Chain A
Amino acid sequence: MSEEVAEEITLRLKNMLQDMEDGKIESPPDSVGKLLRCYADMGKPPCEEELDVQAEFLQLASRVVLNKSRMLVPRRSERQESDEESEEQRSQEMLRHLVQYRRYREVTEELSRRAEKMRKRHPRFPPEIRQWEDALADIEGADLSDLVRALEQVLAESEDQPQMIQREQITVSDCMESLRNKLSRADGSLSFDDIFPSGAGRRVVVVTFVALLEMIRKGEIRVAQKQRFGEITVFSSADSDKIGQTGR
């Protein structure tokens, strides 16, 4: 190590520390790290005599670094100012929201008055739309819960049959067409279980059931049940004279 250089660095650090402690330096000096790196780069391991010098240097350097790091942290008064600033910003934001809210509250009252006025002026009601439930009132001896129970049985059976998983492309209208064909082939009546293709997956079962409901709604088919929990029979409406023959 060049003793002259080491002394020069030590001197500069001492001066810097003095200036820091006297408040002559306001911003953290960038040269601290550079000086310390220079000192380290010169280094051969210190001999015993030099240990005191080295220790003194380390003490000096650590005080300079401590002072620099203190300078980097905002001073207490600055922190307080910053907190006060954000507090003020929060208050401003809250005030802004309150003002916004109040503006909308005022129009809300006006709109409520308008709505109340309109509520007393009745328009013509829309014509009643025939829903499935209404259509299902035509079911002979069976209600919707009977149909759902029968569907659950078919679904339970469909689960027992392992099969390749594949996406089934099927529409309600396809199923309606298939059901019409089946009824026609079966002389106009089928048991509930027979309307579902054998080995049908859940999707086919559900879509076929929706097709059945749709055909009931349209009046194309009717269903009848001989007795509670008995077999449900599906009839083509054209063959509804057969309903009586089921014993209903």
Chain B
Amino acid sequence: MNWDRHMKLAAVEACLFASHAPLSAEELAEATQLPGSEIESLLDDLRSKYTAPHSGVQLLEVAGGFQVRTRAEYAEAVEKILQPESKQLSAAAVETLALIAYGQPITRPEIESVRGVNTAHLLRKLEKDGLIEVLGRKDVPGRPKTYGTTSRFLQQFGLSDLDELPPLPEEMPADVQKPAVQNGTG
């Protein structure tokens, strides 16, 4: 396509504006028929454009893609229009998600061994909300289901991928043996 730089930038912006889900650089390249390297540079330009203080939106890198979202400073005004359902996660839900995110694939007994409480209901809810998914079954007696986090989890926590999870604090005291839940993003 015979586009100048401004038009290419506008095309990428239009795609991001129209999509409700994050778009990867590859998807943007395919949609605009522009080379991947140029997309990266256009995304940088777009990010700079939205960084301007008078911009109401910003470009975020979430769940392996790029997404235009409103700025947190204007949340109150936006929420009067959108009236979103309150989706604030409980502390127990975030705690369970943390265990799954760091320990996946992980079984319910493994989660419960750290949390010390029954998590069956919570796991069902998190699965229903699309934040976790069943990855398979562990090859141990009873073949319990193994869980992992989803792309929606990454979006909800503003993570590009699991490597962006905050590092787990070191184990203390030092004489404590190998943890039941392994670190790693699986």
Contact = CB atoms under 8 A, between A and B. Distances in A.
B172 interface: yes
What is the size category of the interface that chain A forms with chain B?
20 to 34
A146 to B, nearest CB: 30
Interface residues of B, number: 50
A100 B72 contact: no
B157 to A, nearest CB: 5
B156 A104 contact: no
A117 B71 CA distance: 10
Nearest to B116: A97
Interface in A57-112: 95-97, 99-108, 110-112
Interface string A148-178: 0000000000000000000000000000000
Interface in B123-160: 155-159
- Interface of A (DSSP majority class): helix
Contacts of A99: 171-173, 176
Contact of B88 (A95, A102, A107, A116): A116
B168 A103 contact: yes
Interface in A112-137: 112, 114-127
Given A105-B95, A115-B89, A124-B19, A100 B114 contact: yes
Contacts of B78: 122
Contacts of B158: 114-115, 117-118, 121
Nearest to B75: A120
